[in-house]
Amino acid sequence: MENWTDQGIVLHVLPHGEGAAVLKLFTETRGLHAGYVHGAHSASKRPLLEIGNLLHGDWHAKIDDQLGTYKLELEQQFAAMIMEDRQKMAALKALTSLLSESLPEREAHPDLYHTTLALLTIMAFGADEIAAWGAAYVKWEIALLRELGFSLDLTRCAGGGSAQELGYISPKTGCAVSYSAGEPYKDKLLPLPAFLKPNGGPEDEEEIVKGLHMTGAFLEKWAFAQHTKGVPEARRDFSIIISQN
């Protein structure tokens, strides 16, 4: 009998048969891991299985290759604290979809797991205004790209200019470019959000929209280029909702 216990974030719940479901958790030590949940639609289990919730999971199966079965307990009900806010809920759907569709199953990503948990905590317990959590979300997508092997270099100018006047980022290389070095090519470059510059800057809505546009371009070009459906629809919807606000 194979068995392990871990905490994990609910990413996806797929109904299975009468009253059951297949649950995908992003766990601390085992990465994405699916399991069968009996009675998933019962009054006691429905609140547990909202995306974004942090659960204590006990997984067991006869052999490791099987789907296995989860026994679950609630550790933190993030979803209930977020779902009343349209922007935060869109961000939560984007986050869980990106993780579910980009990471390989059963491969540990502890740094990304803790970064994700920190972001959910900010969203659940912080202020509702996007200026309070939007920059953290953009930085989370940069961390996801890095975990997938696509690192952005935001510390220096790829064109030899000053690192103190970075203003753009190359959509081809992911390297920052200074205003002076990038001026002749600015129409082909992406604007670099102020809060990602070495000296820091405002984390207002305008800069966050720039950040989402930037990370969205790299998610499409690098992380999801080989996916038949491309960047998850939930991520595209989130960007639209923030841009239209």
In a domain, 167, yes or no: no
| CATH code of the domain in which 22 resides | 2.40.50.140
In a domain, 93, yes or no: yes
On whether both 126 and 8 belong to a single domain, the answer is: no
On whether both 62 and 84 belong to a single domain, the answer is: no
Closest CA to 145 of 94, 219, 93, 212: 219
Residues 6+ apart with CB under 8 A from 195: 135, 138, 201, 202, 203, 207, 211
What parts of the chain have a pLDDT lower than 70?
A: 245
Instruction: List beta partners, residue 33.
Output: 25
Q: Which domain holds residue 48?
A: 2-76
Q: Which is it for strands 69-76 and 54-61: parallel, antiparallel or unpaired?
A: antiparallel
Euclidean distance between CA atoms 198 and 154, whole angstroms: 8
Residue where one domain finishes, among candidates 51, 76, 101: 76
Q: Which is it for strands 54-61 and 31-37: parallel, antiparallel or unpaired?
A: unpaired
On whether both 71 and 138 belong to a single domain, the answer is: no
On whether both 66 and 84 belong to a single domain, the answer is: no
On whether both 29 and 145 belong to a single domain, the answer is: no
Euclidean distance between CA atoms 85 and 98, whole angstroms: 20
10 Å CB burial of residue 172 (0-12, 13-18, 19+) is: exposed
Number of domains in the chain: 2
On whether both 8 and 37 belong to a single domain, the answer is: yes
| Distances, alpha carbon 82 to alpha carbons 24, 53, 86, 88, 116, in Å | 20, 10, 8, 6, 15
On whether both 22 and 137 belong to a single domain, the answer is: no
Residues 6+ apart with CB under 8 A from 146: 152
On whether both 104 and 43 belong to a single domain, the answer is: no
On whether both 143 and 228 belong to a single domain, the answer is: yes
Which pLDDT score, from 0 to 100, does residue 18 have? 84
In a domain, 178, yes or no: no
In a domain, 97, yes or no: yes
In a domain, 168, yes or no: no
On whether both 149 and 204 belong to a single domain, the answer is: yes
Which pLDDT score, from 0 to 100, does residue 116 have? 98
10 Å CB burial of residue 82 (0-12, 13-18, 19+) is: buried
Residue where one domain finishes, among candidates 76, 100, 123: 76
In a domain, 179, yes or no: no
Which pLDDT score, from 0 to 100, does residue 1 have? 78
On whether both 122 and 222 belong to a single domain, the answer is: yes
Residue where one domain finishes, among candidates 76, 103, 118: 76
On whether both 9 and 127 belong to a single domain, the answer is: no
Which pLDDT score, from 0 to 100, does residue 94 have? 98
In a domain, 13, yes or no: yes
In a domain, 176, yes or no: no
Which pLDDT score, from 0 to 100, does residue 104 have? 96
